[in-house]
Amino acid sequence: MTRPRKLVTVSHSYVVTLNRRLANEMTRVGAGRWDITAVAPRAFHGDLGPLVLQRDPSEPVRIETVRAFLSRSLHGFVYGPELRAHLSRGVDLVHSWEEPYVLSGLEVALLTPRRVPLVFCTAQNLIKHYPPPFAQAERFVVHRASGWVAWGQTVRDTLQARGGYPLRPSRFIPMGVDVERFQPDAAAGEDFRRAQGWTPQGPPVVGYLGRFVPEKGVRLLMDALDGLRTPWRALFVGGGPMEATLREWATRHGDQVRVVTGVPHASVPQTLNAMDVLCAPSQTTPRWKEQFGRMLAEAFACGVPVLGSDSGEVPFTVGDAGHVLPEADTAAWTTTLGDLLENPATRQEWARKGLTRARTHFAWPVVARAHLDFFEEVLQGRA
């Protein structure tokens, strides 16, 4: 009997239980064929404050911990020297969930034995010119790697034109969504509406979920709603520097608008189920364009039809299961949104398409299997 292949997957994100979903699903999907270990920091500071690794006894993946130094900087942090041992004990393949241009990504590449294939993943969908030592780190990691995973089609397309990337096998694999947690739940949606002082019945609810920042298109959505002639309500869920502007606009519409902040991720399915349509009017800037649009996949899983802009990865996330509109065309947003609000049957049709897309493209078991299939291709190529 052939022994299972040993896979080690490394990520600073694994300090958070929710972010180990990929590692856990690969363990479930690959049972019998793969022996998987997730290497996670014991503690990590990050952008939002200090975090200490928490374990869930129900997790199937084996977790090994290492120290992390200088973790206030995602670009400059490094793991402790004990990482080397985890990458060399009979390992068949190393998966690095660290960008190739950051120092931790370089460290994983340096400590992975030359005989062991290395696959890294990246979400970079803009051509950027990094200063030293990050430019040198990227070149080394790409040269050392046996393959790479792009978290978006626009990521893969962009990097295929960048030095070294086209010489290595690559695969576009989207991020996953928990289709058991995110699913249609009309009763939960009605409860959320009541909690906001709304009746369950009434004008359709236009939803927004994400950061309140200009590049996410908050202003465009406000202007599009101002132009509607059909009755509507609007629910903005998130937080950010545009909150004051959004609330000032909301006061002019009285009971039509709710702005809700501080919603934990566990409560997001309920907020989505309170919406009749989700809008993602992301706006491309010189330094940013949408990399995935997780709220779109989560809305699909909840049976909520979506409208998305043509910024970055949004068209590839939406596919044929929703409407994609020009990111700067307010009139197009107003017209399409009005038509959708006036046609419940059309909304139901798009909701069904979205559910199918969530379950066939974004469900975690599907995403995990795609990773393992690519890893096997990389191993066969090395052989």
What whole-number distance in Å separates Cα of residue 272 and Cα of residue 78?
A: 37
pLDDT at residue 1 in the model: 55
Question: For 234, how many CA atoms within 13 A lie in the half-sphere containing its CB?
Answer: 24
Pairing of strands 147-150, 170-172: parallel
Choose among 145, 126, 142: nearest CA to 134: 142
Question: In this prediction, what percent of the chain has a pLDDT beyond 90?
Answer: 87
* pLDDT 10s digits, 89-107: 899 999 999 999 999 999 9
Q: Residue 356: pLDDT above 90?
A: yes
Q: What is the pLDDT of residue 383?
A: 62
pLDDT in tens, 183-236: 999 999 999 999 999 998 899 999 999 999 999 999 999 999 999 999 999 999
What is the largest distance, in Å, between two alpha-carbon atoms of the chain?
Answer: 70
List the domains of the chain with CATH numbers.
5-176+363-382 (3.40.50.2000), 186-362 (3.40.50.2000)
d(CA 15, CA 2): 32
Determine the Cα angle at 299 with ends 294 and 301, to 5°: 100
308-337 pLDDT, tens digit each? 999 999 999 999 999 999 999 999 999 999
66 token code pair: 């290492």
Strand spans (E) along the chain: 5-10, 34-41, 43-44, 51-52, 62-66, 68-69, 78-79, 93-96, 118-122, 147-150, 170-172, 205-211, 233-239, 257-261, 277-280, 306-309, 323-325
Nearest to 250 by CA among 294, 214, 206, 290: 206
User: Quick one: pLDDT at residue 168?
Assistant: 95
Name the pLDDT band for 367 (thresholds 50, 70, 90): very high
Contacts with 139 (C-beta within 8 Å, 6 or more apart), sequence order: 163, 164
- Per cent of the chain over pLDDT 70 is 99
